Amino acid sequence: MSDRYAQLVRSPPGALLARQVGLPRPVALERHRPGDPVIRGRVLLGGARGGRLLGAIAAVLAEARCELATPLEERARSIVAEAGLDAAVFNPDAPGEQRFKALIFDATGIADSTELVALHAFFHGAVRRVEQCGRVIVLGTPFSDCASARQKTAQRALEGFTRSLGKEIGRGATVQLVLVAAGAQDGIASTLRFLLSPRSAYVSGQVVRLGRGKPPKEIDWEHPLRGRTALVTGASRGIGESIASTLAREGAHVVGLDVPALGDDLRRVAARLDGESIELDITVPEAPAAIAERFSGGLDVVVHNAGVTRDRTLAKMPTERWTELMEINLSSQERIDDALLQADALNGNGRIVCVSSMSGIAGNAGQTNYATSKAGVIGRVQALAPELAKRALTINAVAPGFIETQMTAKMPITIREAGRRMNSLSQGGLPIDVAETVAWLAHPASGAINGNVVRVCGQNLLGA
Amino acid sequence: MRKDVRRVAILGGNRIPFARSDSAYAQASNHELLTAALDGLIDRFHLQGERLGEVVAGAVLKHPRDRDLTREAVLSTQLAPETPAYDVQQACGTGLEAVVLVANKIALGQIDAGIAGGADTTSDAPLALNENLRKILLELNRTPSSAGRMQLLTRLRPTQIMPEIPRNAEPRTGLSMGEHCAIMAAEWGVSREEQDELAVRSHHQMAAAYERGFFEDLLTPYLGLERDQNLRPDSTPEKLAKLRPVFGGEQGTMTAGNSTPLSDGAAAVLLASEDWARERDLPILAYLTEAQTAAVDHVHKREGLLMAPAYAMPRMLDRVGLSLGDFDLYEIHEAFAAQVLCTLRAWEDPVFCRERLQRQQPLGAIDRERLNVNGGSLAAGHPFAATGGRIVAALAKALHERGSGRALVSICAAAGQGVVALLESNGNQP
């Protein structure tokens, strides 16, 4: 699993060589450790004239005890003062030695393409001041909430900006666009915190859509899932194990599920997390009912992580390779959710998080079966989201890109190296990166996120 | 004890032209500089043989021999030798603090008239014995036996000939005042252009004031100097733009042009009760009506070293029920152009005013046309303890010329301190 190339170019001679030859130089990504603050370092906050989110953003930053700076603009300064933030001043004409860990820009005020120059005005002088593993977040308005064609044009244009900046910013920094529906400003906290923090280390170039969802009044940011029960399928190893551990870290009572053949591993994980285990093949006909029965007392989070690959080009793929995979990766998920919903086993403010894949978005040679199942997962998320919203539930998916696991370690070196480097961060992600993203979507304060598919791919070139 | 508080009149002032360090006044001591300033004031107001209530002055860079500097200076003048005096020291706030101290005693009726002032020389600086040598010599003094003394002498080293040089550095941070101000400039995003512009304006305003004879009854020539040596009437933004940054590293915005140079000089101000002035038929230029000091924690809370006046001002304004915009003239000591600009920015800033000053609204902006109308320290130079006297005397005269109005003085000082004061014209009806 070790990335020898990354180690090499982080050594002094390796770095020199890489610089001379122009090879990618991946930095060691910062990752969250329990007890860490949301973000270490100063956040620069600005906004286009007429924006509607500065106050809400400032409130989140104040609660998260962020160190803040703003440009010398009366409106922004008044708003952050109102939020109780002792914000420093940033003047690009006299920048001094200022460095920023994050840049946040409220672009909701941009109502016409001519006003997009506000992006240049804010980022031009600031972008080179972003520290290693820094964060850039632009907030905009979703298409459906724009009043005019001009506004829609300008707001849609933001995506080109963030996706490009993500590709050029480098040094482990990430860039996201968050589209906040009208009146949804109270639900941005969990998303802003996630995207600012090292928890989102391998998430970049994403567009997150926030709708109107009421966050709970009291949020324990250290242990948001305390008192909540989470079911994680495929929890015995790899990404599933990491998801189970992360949800447990966030305070959840985790119930891991896996096939009986992996029972030893599963029990070990459950024991370590002080959780429970279910040894069950989710594809057997009685599985959905059994699971619904098991959680008749109430379940808060379901993570559909269980999945397999059965790679073969289509011409050489026997039917079993197709049906077996489809059963595990997609059909069983559908049946389990149906059963849980029918039994009303999901508690209010409950969460369903599915694990899709970059292959499901971009497609991949030799993976027609796998990509079909993972694209189907996306379809499920989009189809169920409006329905679940009526029951105060959400469904979202994460779509991992190249994640360093036992599976990728077995790849031929050329394919592995290509997979690792073909993204904006020039390296593979770790299972924890997927797990942190799942934890964000499973967060009780993430009710505003519904029907989203968030890639954990370091802004991979494929399908972007 | 009196129950009423008397109004304190500013009758006039005198200073010697300020010289650049190691130049015209290179051989003069604090004692000589202060005496020269006092002599001029005594001549102007015919105070020969007069027993004043008190003379209060100070110096920031002092020799051990400058013990009771002010009293010794008084004895060197033609004031009655029975005039008491004492020294104060509050870094660059010394001069204004001395004015406040004299004024307070007049207000309380403890004295009727007094002189406040200050002097400083950076040329005749107090070099001290090398610290190691000093310790050996002191121990030698404590050692009775010859053998012991001989043994001590073996600890002498050639390097101990190097004296202790006073450094313009903050004891608790090790940073010079300029380096501290560079941090503030960066924090407040003060650009090089703004600073140079302020510096040029200071030179031009002061040159114009000299041209129209404004300083004629505020200044006495000394050792061949008739004008402040640092004054550059032909200063332009283009010329200043060529200077290299001296503080804040390569990206710094502070240069020798927009920072005050080390300088030598002295100033004195005559203050009195209205009765005392009336008895001598001396016109009252202005009244000193309020003052306030403040300090910031530049060590642990990381507030800017020179930001204390930004805190002192609203406290004083609240007490008198006035707003920052209610004044006709403003004198903000230009220790560095950046210091002035940071202070102005802080008063305009909603964040600073709310989070640091606990005010719902910013103090607001001031009309820059009313700021340092006769030039400031960037043009005149800044012999630390002399600056307060220079400003108060010139501002009182400027108010007198206007015939009415109010004015503010703001002076930042080392160690995170600041002094502000409020002057009112004699034309104002009480």
Phi-psi region of A162 (alpha: psi -120 to 50; beta: other; left: phi over 0): alpha
Which chain B residues have a beta carbon less than 8 Å from that of A58? none
C-alpha torsion angle, residues A266, A272, A276, A282 (rounded to 10) = -20
Q: What is the pLDDT of residue B324?
A: 97
B12 vs B116: CA distance, rounded Å: 11
> Please, what is the average pLDDT of chain B?
94
Q: How many CB atoms lie within 10 A of CB B163?
A: 14
What pLDDT, in 10s, does the model give residues A218-238? 899 999 999 999 999 999 999
**CA B426 vs CA A128, B249, B316, B388, B398: distances in Å:** 56, 47, 20, 20, 11
Q: What is the dihedral of CA B104, B110, B114, B115, to 10 degrees?
A: -40
Closest CB to B189 among A82, A86, A94: A94
Q: Name the residue among B182, B249, B350 with its Cβ closest to that of A77.
A: B350
What tens digit of pLDDT does each residue of A60-87 get? 999 999 999 999 999 999 999 999 999 9
Torsion angle in degrees (nearest 10) through CA of A375, A381, A386, A387: 110
CATH topology of domain A31-210: Rossmann fold (3.40.50)
**pLDDT-wise least confident of A247-256, B125-134, B223-232:** B125-134
Which sequence positions of B are flagged as catalytic?
A: 92, 382, 412
- Cα distances (Å, whole numbers) of residue A175 to A51, A119, A202, A205: 20, 13, 11, 5
Q: Does A341 lie at the interface with B, CB-CB under 8 angstroms?
A: no
Interface check for B190 against chain A (CB to CB < 8 A): the answer is yes
- State how far the Cα of B51 lies from the Cα of B82, in Å rounded to an integer: 6
Would A31-210 and A229-456 be classified into the same CATH topology? yes
Task: Characterise A216 by phi-psi region: left (phi > 0), alpha (psi -120 to 50), beta (else).
Answer: beta
**Look-up: residue for tokens 């200073």?**
B15
Residue A43 is predicted with a pLDDT of 97
User: Which pLDDT belongs to residue A417?
Assistant: 85
Contacts of A70 in chain B (CB under 8 A): 351
Residue B237 CA: distances (Å) to CA of A400, B203, B370: 57, 11, 21
Structure confidence by residue, pLDDT tens digits, B332-376: 999 999 999 999 999 999 999 999 999 999 999 999 999 999 999
Q: Which of B253, B350, B354 lies nearest to residue A94, judging by beta carbons?
A: B253
pLDDT digits (tens, 9 = 90+) for A401-422: 999 988 778 878 888 888 888 9
Tell me the per-residue pLDDT of B121-142, one tens digit each, with 9 for 90 and over: 998 877 888 888 888 888 888 9
Tokens of A100: 């920023």
Name the residue type at position B142.
R
**Strand ranges (E), B35-76:** 54-57
User: Residue B244 is encoded by which pair of tokens?
Assistant: 């290299």
Contact A97 B191 (CB under 8 A): no
pTM across the whole model:
0.88
Contact B186 A80 (CB under 8 A): no
Closest CA to B381 of B118, B27, B15, B18: B18
| Nearest-angstrom CA–CA distance, A322 and A342 | 28
Lowest-pLDDT choice from A95-109, B53-67, B154-168, B210-224:
B154-168
Measured in angstroms, the CA of B295 and the nearest CA of chain A are apart by 19
Q: How does residue B178 score in pLDDT terms, banded at 50, 70 and 90?
A: very high
pLDDT value at residue A40: 96
Model confidence pLDDT, tens digit, residues A111-155? 999 999 999 999 999 999 999 999 999 999 999 999 999 999 999
Compute φ and ψ for B403, nearest 5 degrees.
90, -15
For Cα atoms B256, B259, B260, give the angle at the middle one, nearest 5 degrees. 105
Whole-number Å distance between alpha carbons of A370 and A327: 11
| Range 145-184 of B in CB contact (< 8 A) with A | 182
> B393-417: per-residue pLDDT in tens?
999 999 999 999 999 999 999 999 9
pLDDT band at B164 (very low <50, low <70, confident <90, very high): confident
Contacts of B338 in chain A (CB under 8 A): none
Q: Do A98 and B186 touch (CB under 8 A)?
A: yes
User: Is the model's pLDDT at B3 over the cut of 80?
Assistant: no
Q: Of B298, B5, B21, which Cα lies nearest the Cα of B169?
A: B298
B28-39: pLDDT as tens digits: 999 999 999 999
Q: Reply yes or no on whether the pLDDT at B430 is more than 50.
A: no
Confidence of residue B421 (pLDDT cuts 50, 70, 90): very high
Beta bridge partners of A57: none
Predicted confidence at residue B262, as pLDDT, reads: 93
Higher pLDDT, A302 or B144: A302
- Judge whether B401 is closer than 8 Å to chain A, CB to CB: no
d(CA A59, CA B34): 56
Cβ–Cβ under 8 Å, residues A364 and A399: no
CATH superfamily of A229-456: NAD(P)-binding Rossmann-like Domain (3.40.50.720)
Residue B4 burial (CB count, 10 A): 7
Domain ranges of chain A: 31-210, 229-456
3-state helix, strand, coil in chain A (%, to 5): 45, 20, 35
Distance of CA B180 to the CA centre of its chain: 18
Q: How many domains in chain B? A: 1
Q: How far apart are CA B245 and CA B254, in angstroms?
A: 5
pLDDT of residue B427: 76
Closest-CA distance, B368 to chain A, in angstroms, reads 19
**First-residue to last-residue Cα distance in chain A:** 25
Spatial CA neighbour of A388 closest among A358, A353, A362: A353
- pLDDT by residue (tens digit) across B311-329? 999 999 999 999 999 999 9
For residue B253, list chain A residues with Cβ-Cβ distance below 8 A: 94, 96
Residue B64: what pLDDT? Answer: 87
Confidence band of B166 (pLDDT split at 50, 70, 90): confident
Q: Give, in order, the Cα–Cα distances in Å from A397 to each of A145, A303, A361, A450, B326.
A: 23, 9, 12, 9, 61
Q: pLDDT category, B158, cuts 50, 70, 90?
A: confident
Alpha carbon distance B198, A331 (integer Å): 74
| Chain B CB contacts of A55 below 8 Å | none
Question: SS3 for B265?
Answer: strand
Residue predicted with more confidence, A397 or A421: A397
Assigned token pair, A227: 């008192």
Mutation target vs A (from B296, B307, B351, B352; most A CBs, 10 A cutoff): B351
Provide the percentage of residues in chain A whose pLDDT is more than 90: 85
B126 in Cβ contact with B64 (< 8 Å): yes
DSSP track, B136-168: HHHHHHH--SHHHHHHHHTT--GGGGSPBPP-S
In this prediction, residue B1 has a pLDDT band, given cuts at 50, 70 and 90, of: low
Asked whether the beta carbons of A281 and A262 are under 8 A apart, the reply is no
The whole-number average pLDDT for the span B7-14 is 98
The whole-number pLDDT of residue A10 equals 79
Reduced to 3 DSSP states, what percent helix, strand and coil does chain B have, rounded to the nearest 5? 40, 20, 40
**Is residue A172's pLDDT more than 90?**
yes
Range(s) of the domain holding residue B351: 177-212+289-425
Residue A126, sorted as left (phi over 0), alpha (psi -120 to 50) or beta, turns out to be alpha
CATH code for the domain in which residue B364 is found: 3.40.47.10
B355–A86 CB contact, under 8 Å: yes
Q: Please report the residues numbered 47 through 76 in chain A whose beta carbons come closer than 8 angstroms to any beta carbon of chain B.
A: 70, 72, 74
User: Which H or E element spans position B330?
Assistant: strand B329-332
